Amino acid sequence: MERDPQDLGDDHHEERFQLCEVELAQLQLTQKEPEEGEVLSGLSQRRLLSAVAMEEFEFPASIHLQKMPLFPKWHLPLKLMAVLMAVAFVYTFLRDVLQPYVSNGKNDFYKIPILVLNKVLPWTSITLLALVYLPGILAALLQLHRGTKYSRFPVWLENWMSVRKQLGLLAFLLACLHAIYSLSYPMRRSYRYKLLNWAYQQVQHKKESAWVEDDVWRMEIYISLGILGLGILALLAISSLPSVSDTLNWREFQCVQRTLGYTALLLCTAHALVYGWKKWVELKQYVWYTPPSFILACFLPAMVLLVKAVLVMPCLDKRLDRIRHGWERPSRKGRSDKDSL
């Protein structure tokens, strides 16, 4: 949930003027319609439309609502989320629903609305969260490789960096949904029937206690890690609100976003890994020769955390710090495009 570089100063400045713009806008609407093509004096159309809730017919004819941008910064993150969810859904459906049906004739289609979805949501969420921090790492590697900060990042990396806030907010939304879905597990009728069946089987086997120490610890730990991860994601989302981030200076904002962000990523990855526990090595988990979804879900976040851990090693960290303070590798001097960053 990083701050968009464009949010840095202007928004703060603009917001102060928002009230008087609203008043101006309302004033203007009560006046004569501007001629076709005439520019609204002193006000940008974007501001005029963002400020107040009005009916469409109240706008001057010169304003073409259909031509206005519709959440331009959200297009890429939403598309990415849709693709990731589709891939995760197909993968989980094949493994958890189709495989038991094809192999054993077992009808597990009831799993689709909650159990399958509750794998798709966290998988997409944690991947989006990793994608928030991956471009920063790529940028750091690029700077280390080039030995300067005065040369332009590739366009795709700049575009990616500019939508980190949106990616983070979507990750948070999906994580919240995942938490709600998870907490709904015991409410389901299927779960109650399963519980009754387990109890019956236990009596049949004349077993007094079903307590499995390992399983108890696994669940206590991974649920706790999940709750902590979600709590920190909530803090991150709050700190990215303009009204909050405007009260922080750039250093404070970076500190909150980086420290809390990586902590959240670490907690969520640990949550998924502890959930997996020993399933890594159980052969029966590899149905149709495919790994369980939590392994795939953890792969990218684990990579991001690993590379970050390497980058904070003193030798690299100091070098990066010097580069970011303007130092250049001697061979680079004169070659850099100083205007670009």
Nearer Cβ to ligand HEM, position 3 or 119? 119
Tokens standing for residue 86: 């589709």
Residues in contact with 163: Cβ distance below 8 Å, sequence separation at least 6, in sequence order = 73, 74, 76, 77
Residues in contact with 199: Cβ distance below 8 Å, sequence separation at least 6, in sequence order = none
7-15, 44-52, 153-161, 175-183 -> range binding ligand HEM (CB under 6 A) = 175-183
- Tell whether residue 111 is a contact of ligand HEM (CB under 6 A): no
Which of helix, strand or coil describes residue 187?
A: helix
Smallest separation (angstroms) from ligand HEM to the CB of 298: 7
Instruction: Point out the residue whose Cβ comes nearest to ligand HEM.
Output: 226
DSSP states of 278-330 as a string?
A: TTTT-GGGSGGG---HHHHHHHHHHHHHHHHHHHTSHHHHHHHHHHHTT---G
Q: Is the dihedral of CA 54, 55, 57, 62 positive or negative?
A: positive
Nearer Cβ to ligand HEM, position 123 or 150? 123
102-110, 210-218, 292-300, 311-319 -> range binding ligand HEM (CB under 6 A) = 292-300
Pairwise CA distance, residues 71 & 337, whole Å: 32
From the list 2, 80, 95, 125, which residue makes contact with ligand HEM (rule: CB under 6 A)? 125
Pairwise CA distance, residues 218 & 232, whole Å: 21
Q: Is the dihedral of CA 214, 215, 220, 221 positive or negative?
A: positive
Smallest separation (angstroms) from ligand HEM to the CB of 272: 4
CB 194, CB 27: distance < 8 Å: no
Nearer Cβ to ligand HEM, position 147 or 226? 226
Nearer Cβ to ligand HEM, position 183 or 303? 183
**Radius of gyration of the chain measured on its C-alpha atoms:** 26
- The residue behind tokens 């779960």 is 191
3-11, 75-83, 199-207, 225-233 -> range binding ligand HEM (CB under 6 A) = 225-233
Distances in Å between the Cα of 136 and the Cα atoms of 3, 5, 307 are 12, 13, 11
Binding-site size, ligand HEM (CB under 6 A): 26
From the list 151, 182, 263, 285, which residue makes contact with ligand HEM (rule: CB under 6 A)? 182
- Tell whether residue 297 is a contact of ligand HEM (CB under 6 A): yes
From the list 80, 163, 268, 323, which residue makes contact with ligand HEM (rule: CB under 6 A)? 268
From the list 84, 126, 132, 134, which residue makes contact with ligand HEM (rule: CB under 6 A)? 126
- State the binding string over 205-224 for ligand HEM (x if CB under 6 A, else -): ------------------x-
- State the binding string over 127-146 for ligand HEM (x if CB under 6 A, else -): --x-----------------
Looking at beta carbons, which pairs linking 275-278 to residues 24 or more positions away fall under 8 Å?
A: 275/218, 275/222, 277/214, 277/218
Smallest separation (angstroms) from ligand HEM to the CB of 225: 8
Pairwise CA distance, residues 142 & 148, whole Å: 9
DSSP code of residue 153: P
- State the binding string over 5-44 for ligand HEM (x if CB under 6 A, else -): ----------------------------------------
Q: How many residues does the chain have?
A: 341
- Tell whether residue 153 is a contact of ligand HEM (CB under 6 A): no
Beta strands in the chain (DSSP E): none
The residue ranges that bind ligand HEM (CB under 6 A) are 115, 118-119, 122-123, 125-126, 129, 175, 178-179, 182-183, 223, 226-227, 229-230, 233, 268, 271-272, 275, 293-294, 297
